[in-house]
Amino acid sequence: MLKKGTAAEQEGILNAANLICIAARTAPKARGLDNIITAVLTGTDKDKLALKMKSIGRNNNNKTFLRDSGNINRSQAVVIIGTKIKPLELRLCGFCGFKDCAEMEKNSGTCIFNSGDLGIAIGSAVSTAAALKVDNRIMYTAGYAALKMNLLGKNVRIAYGIPLSATGKNIFFDRK
């Protein structure tokens, strides 16, 4: 079987996306509790995400969403990484701004360790993408749209998108 050019590169992007999800999964987490959720979007699912981002941009006069939707359109895949918000029940914490985890939950707060773990997972993910020589960019806009589309489930309240590309020139630079 002969694979040339874009067919081989597309398969490589999908392999990289899977490895990027593994990197997010295995990243260190507070108390070893894993609240990270990952997904890989390609084809029509990726296109729907770009359309949602464009809609958000138009409806809110937000050029960042419009610009980023163009990057999603031109990318071969998008990894979405999010976190469920679950308190870690640490004693003497209060980093979330509430007295304790029960008060945080009662007030729909966000456990700082969940968002911290998400940041570490994203760092591990893009480090893996870079090691694999896959062009990428972290986009809050893609994560926001994914949440609005409920792609990761109702318990996920924070997410980011990482579009992936393998072209002769990095599509995530020289953006207007």
Q: What is the count of structural domains for the chain?
A: 1
- Asked whether residue 171 is assigned to any structural domain, the reply reads no
How many residues make up the chain in this entry?
176
Place of tokens 């958000």: 56
Which tokens go with 130?
Answer: 């870079």
- Asked whether residue 59 is assigned to any structural domain, the reply reads yes
Give the residue-averaged pLDDT of 146-153. 97
Render pLDDT for 71-91 as a digit per residue (tens, 0 to 9): 999 999 999 999 999 999 988
> Domain of 82?
13-165
Q: Say if residue 176's pLDDT is above 80.
A: no
Q: What's the pLDDT at 164? A: 98
Helices then strands, each counted (H, E), the chain: 6, 4
- Asked whether residue 174 is assigned to any structural domain, the reply reads no
List of E strands, 86-153: 135-136
- Asked whether residue 172 is assigned to any structural domain, the reply reads no
- Asked whether residue 170 is assigned to any structural domain, the reply reads no
- 59 versus 167: which is more confidently predicted? 59
- Asked whether residue 4 is assigned to any structural domain, the reply reads no
- Asked whether residue 3 is assigned to any structural domain, the reply reads no
Cα–Cα distances in Å, from 16 out to 5, 37, 73, 79?
Answer: 16, 17, 18, 10
- Asked whether residue 145 is assigned to any structural domain, the reply reads yes
Question: What CATH number does the domain containing 49 carry?
Answer: 3.40.109.10
Q: What's the pLDDT at 7? A: 87
Distance CA(161)–CA(38), nearest Å, equals 10
**Residue 45 — pLDDT band, cuts 50, 70, 90?**
very high
